[in-house]
Amino acid sequence: MNQRQTDILQKITQLKEVKVTDLAEEFDVSEVTIRKDLNYLEDNGLINREHGFAKINESDDIRIRLAQNYPIKQKIAREAANLINDGDYVLIESGSCCSLLALELAKTKNDITIITNSAFIADYIHKESNIKVILLGGEYQMESQVTVGPVMSEVLKQFNVNLAFIGIDGYKDGVFSSNDLMRTQAVKDFAKQAEKTVVLTDSTKFFDQSRFNHLNSNQIATVITDINIPNEKKEEIENNGTELILVK
């Protein structure tokens, strides 16, 4: 994504709906150029196109979150992809950073198998032929588009991998947390089946504590986030022996 596309996405996120003509005028480019930029954003699941307009994805929670802080989340995903080699099997849980990691792997790696409980991720990368997806069954949560529950947990036990990538909703006092109890259990199950667990999140999640605790920081091998993480949280995580990778 180039800088103009990033700025266009930010504008659409702020205003919810913007005319193509207004974008062309503001960015001093032709409407043809703006339409190409909007096509790119739509192809990456970040906006919706209507005749003469670009709109944020208000009807789909995960796509709204994808559009928020997108450049930072993309950098986090690219950093995470460096941990994975061609031919690897990886567990990827739900969330916007995890979805972008799956797309990055599909575009840059060879012979990767992604095991996930996210129907959104499976659909998000379905056009990429360079990757295999194993979608775990279970109870389906419509809003987050993930499977959870005992069936998902039992199917997950069939796999043992080196790395599991998870998202979070909050963090406090050395504990990562989630807003959903069933997702909390899914995260714990993912961690059991991997040698190392990696948290992918932008720094905004370190300013909140969510309802349900899932993993302590000493259970996490690596956290990949951005440089805006509060210093006290940074020190706390590193003092617990967790590797912290920061992107700008």
Burial pattern 11-30, b for ≥16 Cβ within 10 A else e, equals ebbeeeebebeebbeebeee
Residue 111: which residues within 8 A CB-CB, separation 6 or more? 86, 87, 130, 132
Q: With a cut of 60, say whether residue 59 has pLDDT above it.
A: no
Q: With a cut of 60, say whether residue 60 has pLDDT above it.
A: no
| 175 and 230 both lie in a single domain | yes
Q: Tens digits of per-residue pLDDT, 181-228?
A: 999 999 999 999 999 999 999 999 998 888 899 999 999 999 999 999
Residue ranges making up the domain that contains 14? 3-59
- pLDDT at residue 29, as a whole number: 92
Looking at the chain, the whole-number percentage of residues with pLDDT higher than 70 is 97
Q: Count CA within 13 A, CB hemisphere, residue 182.
A: 16
| 117 and 215 both lie in a single domain | yes
| 55 and 34 both lie in a single domain | yes
CATH number reported for the structural domain that contains residue 76 in this entry = 3.40.50.1360
Total tally of structural domains belonging to the chain: 2
Residue 147 has φ and ψ, to the nearest 5°, of -100, 145
Q: What average pLDDT score do residues 159-174 get? A: 95
What is the pLDDT of the chain when averaged over all its residues? Answer: 91
Q: Which two tokens stand for residue 240?
A: 């617990």
| 53 and 76 both lie in a single domain | no
Q: With a cut of 80, say whether residue 13 has pLDDT above it.
A: no
Q: Tens digits of per-residue pLDDT, 78-131?
A: 999 999 999 999 999 998 999 999 999 999 999 999 999 999 999 999 888 789
| 209 and 167 both lie in a single domain | yes
- pLDDT at residue 117, as a whole number: 97
